[in-house]
Structure 1
Amino acid sequence: MIGLDALGIAAAVLPGAVAAHHALDRTAATRWRNTGFWGVFALLLAAGPWLPDLVNGGLVLVMVALATRGLRAAPVASSDAAAQAVQASRLGAWLFVPALAIPAVTLVGTLSVANGRIAGLALIDPKQVTLVALTLGAIVALGLALRLTRPPRGAPVAEARRLVDSIGWAMVLPQMLAALGGVFALSGVGKVVADGVVNMVALDTPLVATIAYCVGMAVFTMIMGNAFAAFPIMTGGIGLPIVIRHFGGDPAIVAALGMVSGFCGTLMTPMAANYNIVPAAILELRDRFGVIRVQWPTAILLLIFNIAVLASCAFPGGWGR
């Protein structure tokens, strides 16, 4: 049955190919440092579930040490800008087809194989159908891109390395922060947060509890850089015991709008490097925080909207009781 383990192996292909490309580049000053970093990352993705926890932790520390020493990007031989401009002019809007294929295949796969069964056979873990469809969408998009552009042999890996080098260690930040959120949840940080909030604010009405939960999700996401890392902490500390159990909030509405409130925090923090810092680096913006400066007014308005909707729709007796 296809599950997270198989998806991890599929995800390891990209950093593994980048590591191999670095290893073959004799001109790069940090050749083996880059090779080691992306190679270890690929190993963790592919074999992490079968390695002892102590080994996984040691490999993470190896990545930290290599990143601390510095992962310097080196020029990568690929098609020049003029050739890319000519090809872009020739293909026109067809260039968007591979990108649009990812959400299209993901949506179709999720809706058509909801229970993980294909032709009556249980081939996919029902809990991971969406992730499997997303992986298939990425593979389909890669095939379409190769078909449309017909790049020289080796160009896809070279371009992957160029993009990964421009992002650097921040590429692995989501995985690190998600793992940190799991550690915090297991260590009881959620209860500590709940006790602290209760001591500071009287959560005596559904509205006040809603505000504390949604604002807490946004703030913790800003601190941790990942709403998925903040979710178990704030939901375990405030959302579940207070908003849902004490005031009778609808679990589906509370969880959904709580997560979206966390995403508001994502828009306002440099810790969410893959969303806010990496795009600025790729686009070579002069202001490295320019993306955040543009996004924060929308994030504040959306957070207020989420609070209003959750307070209005989640409680059967109304938020004023």
Structure 2
Amino acid sequence: MLEYVYQATGLLLIAFALQTFVDKSNSKRIGTGLFWLIYGLSFTLGKVLPDWFVGVMVLALTLIAAGGFMGSGSYGYPDEKFRIASAKKLKNTMFIPAIIVPVVTILWSKTTGTSALIGLGISALLALIVALMITKGKAQQSLHEGRRLIDAIGWAAILSQFLAALGYLFGEAGVGDIVSQIVKEIVPNNNLFAYVLCYTCGMALFTIIMGNAFAAFAVITTGIAIPLLMIEQGGNPIIIGVIGMLSGYCGTLMTPMAANFNIVPAALLALKNKNQIIYLQFIPGLLMLTINTFLIYIFAF
């Protein structure tokens, strides 16, 4: 079933691409359309395409994004008076579709024991149906709105996948072992607090660089937490792992590489400074990182 979710996602992206190709108001419609078409095909046909061909597709996506060949167009957006009138009429009922997505996803995962991504796909479809019933809108408008949002996000929509793959490659390349050797050479033997500090700060730093705490977790936990904190110092794996991941999320608050958390909201809110969200989160992120370090040091040993 998960493969069907991927294929449905790909078909939606292909629909966005076709809309873009015929949108003459978008001066960069060819580049934008090609980007979403290639990305959609990777979802729809990824299981049957050769690995080398998928790699070529990834390089093509990179060239299109880096070359500045993506832009925005026209999305059949309703006029301001209609939007204001609809907002007054619908009020908080529009929160219902938004709530359906996490609730149904969690229920699916808990009751079926299968991938939560399947539940996410089903809940998204259900939320769309409910939204259309509430607004009495047309299904075609949902395509226009979906394309408007994906164009506003731009290439950053695929960043999380790139970074997750990068973390896997780092793990396969043995970067974790190198990190472990560096820490052992710098930190005095049996200095527990220094080990903990290296772990929490390492998680945050790698997340800042890679934009993905999951990718950082694979490298830093393998290199520092497991050999130095869990095996050598006998630390509690559950406490170290959970708070270590949270330390990575502290780095998420501080980096533009976590585009889906920091840059995308700024784009959707039309903020003048695209890094405004990061500026507001930086100090709280440092404070949380400090607290995490002491929590591991106090409770994990």
User: 1:251 Cα shift?
Assistant: 2.2
| Per-residue Cα deviation, 1:40-69 (whole angstroms, up to 9, x for no partner) | 111112222332221111000111112223
**Paired residue type of 1:104:** V
C-alpha distance in 2 between matches for 1:278 and 1:172 = 12
**Paired residue type of 1:170:** A
1:319 aligned residue: none
Calculate the TM-score normalised by the size of structure 2: 0.93
1:204 aligned residue: 190
**Paired residue type of 1:33:** G
User: 1:86 Cα shift?
Assistant: 0.8
Considering only aligned residues, what root-mean-square deviation do their CA atoms show, in Å?
1.7
Structure 1 unmatched runs, 5+: 117-123, 316-321
User: 1:179 Cα shift?
Assistant: 0.8
C-alpha distance in 2 between matches for 1:63 and 1:38 = 9
Pair 1:83 & 2:82 matched: yes
Structure 1 residues 108 and 203: alpha-carbon distance in aligned structure 2, compared to 1, 3 A threshold: farther
Q: Does the Cα contact within 8 Å between 2:132 and 2:139 map onto a contact in 1? A: no
Q: 1:149 aligns with which of 135, 158, 161?
A: 135
C-alpha distance in 1 between matches for 2:189 and 2:165 = 30
C-alpha distance in 2 between matches for 1:177 and 1:48 = 18
2:27 aligned residue: 29
Pair 1:226 & 2:225 matched: no
User: 1:298 Cα shift?
Assistant: 1.3
**Paired residue type of 1:73:** S
User: 1:27 Cα shift?
Assistant: 4.2
Pair 1:264 & 2:263 matched: no
1:62 aligned residue: 60
Pair 1:245 & 2:231 matched: yes
User: 1:271 Cα shift?
Assistant: 1.1
2:49 aligned residue: 51
Stretch of structure 1 that moved more, 231-240 or 21-30: 21-30
C-alpha distance in 2 between matches for 1:260 and 1:172 = 23
| Per-residue Cα deviation, 1:164-223 (whole angstroms, up to 9, x for no partner) | 111111111111111111111111111112222222222524332222111100000001
Q: Does the Cα contact within 8 Å between 1:203 and 1:209 map onto a contact in 2? A: no
User: Which stretches of structure 1, 4 residues or longer, exceed 6 Å deviation after superposition?
Assistant: none
Structure 1 residues 189 and 295: alpha-carbon distance in aligned structure 2, compared to 1, 3 A threshold: same
Q: Percent identity?
A: 37
**Paired residue type of 1:98:** P
Q: 2:276 aligns with which of 273, 290, 297?
A: 290
Structure 2 unmatched runs, 5+: none
User: 1:253 Cα shift?
Assistant: 2.1
**Paired residue type of 1:207:** F
Pairs aligned (count):
300
C-alpha distance in 2 between matches for 1:153 and 1:101 = 18
1:108 aligned residue: 107
C-alpha distance in 1 between matches for 2:29 and 2:295 = 52
C-alpha distance in 2 between matches for 1:287 and 1:246 = 46
User: 1:153 Cα shift?
Assistant: 4.4
Calculate the TM-score normalised by the size of structure 1: 0.88
**Paired residue type of 1:142:** L
